[in-house]
Chain A
Amino acid sequence: DVKVTQSSRYLVKRTGEKVFLECVQDMDHENMFWYRQDPGLGLRLIYFSYDVKMKEKGDIPEGYSVSREKKERFSLILESASTNQTSMYLCASRMAGATNQPQHFGDGTRLSIL
C-alpha cells in the first residue's frame, strides 16, 4: 500500500526558531508537495518539487524553504518561525505524468508556534 509519512503529528516551537518538517514517501513518486491548511481557506500550496533537487514556489512560499536531496524525502523549513505559521501542514506525493493521478497525503503535522 502507498505510504507518505510525516515525521511528527504534533509540534510546538517558539518564535524565531528554525523548524524542520520531514516527509518521506515509499512509492517512488517524482512529484512532492507541501501545503498548509487553515479553516475556511482549504489547502494552499507552499512549495512543490517535480524531481530530485528541483523545487518550485507555490502560492504562499514566503517564510518557507524546502529541500529535496533524495527522491523519497521532501523537507519543509521554516527559517524563523512566526506565530502566523501556526497551522496544519500536509505533505503529498504523486506519480508524474497523467492528469488523472491523485495525490497521496501524509497524516499531517499540527504545528503551533508560541
Chain B
Amino acid sequence: AQKITQTQPGMFVQEKEAVTLDCTYDTSDPSYGLFWYKQPSSGEMIFLIYQGSYDQQNATEGRYSLNFQKARKSANLVISASQLGDSAMYFCAMREGSTGGFKTIFGAGTRLFVKA
C-alpha cells in the first residue's frame, strides 16, 4: 500500500540558512509523482514543487529543490536561504501513476519555524 512518512513534526532554522525537510514514501507502482505543498497559518495549500519517478534530474523551483533518491524512496525538500515567510506547515504527497488513479496521499506534515 502506498504510504508517505514525514518524521519531523517540527523544525527550526535560522534566517538565511538552508533547511532540509524529510519525506520517505512507499509504493510498488513504478510510475508515480511526488509533490510538496506549503500551508501558511492562513490555511491555504500552496503547490511548491513536483518530481516524477522517471525524471533523471532533481526538480528545482527557485529556492526550492527536491533531493530525490529513488533507491532509498526518499524525496526531501531543500529550502535555501530561508526567509521569515517560509514559516509554515509543509506536506509531502504522492500520486501513483498506473494504479493510484485519481488519489493523492499526504504525509502528516512538518512545521517549519524560521528564526530571525
CB-CB under 8 A for A41 and B95, given A100-B33, A105-B45: no
The stretch from A14-22, A43-51, A61-69 touching chain B is A43-51
What is the interface residue range for chain B against chain A? 20 to 34
Q: Cα distance A88–B107 when bound, in Å? A: 16
Majority SS of interface residues in chain A? strand
The reply to whether A50 and B44 contact each other, CB–CB distance below 8 Å, is: no
For residue B105, which residues in chain A have a CB less than 8 angstroms away from its CB? 45
The reply to whether B9 and A103 contact each other, CB–CB distance below 8 Å, is: no
Q: Cα distance A63–B89 when bound, in Å? A: 28
Q: Cα distance A91–B36 when bound, in Å? A: 17
Q: Cα distance A100–B50 when bound, in Å? A: 7
| Chain A, residue nearest B31 (CB) | A99
| Chain B, residue nearest A58 (CB) | B103
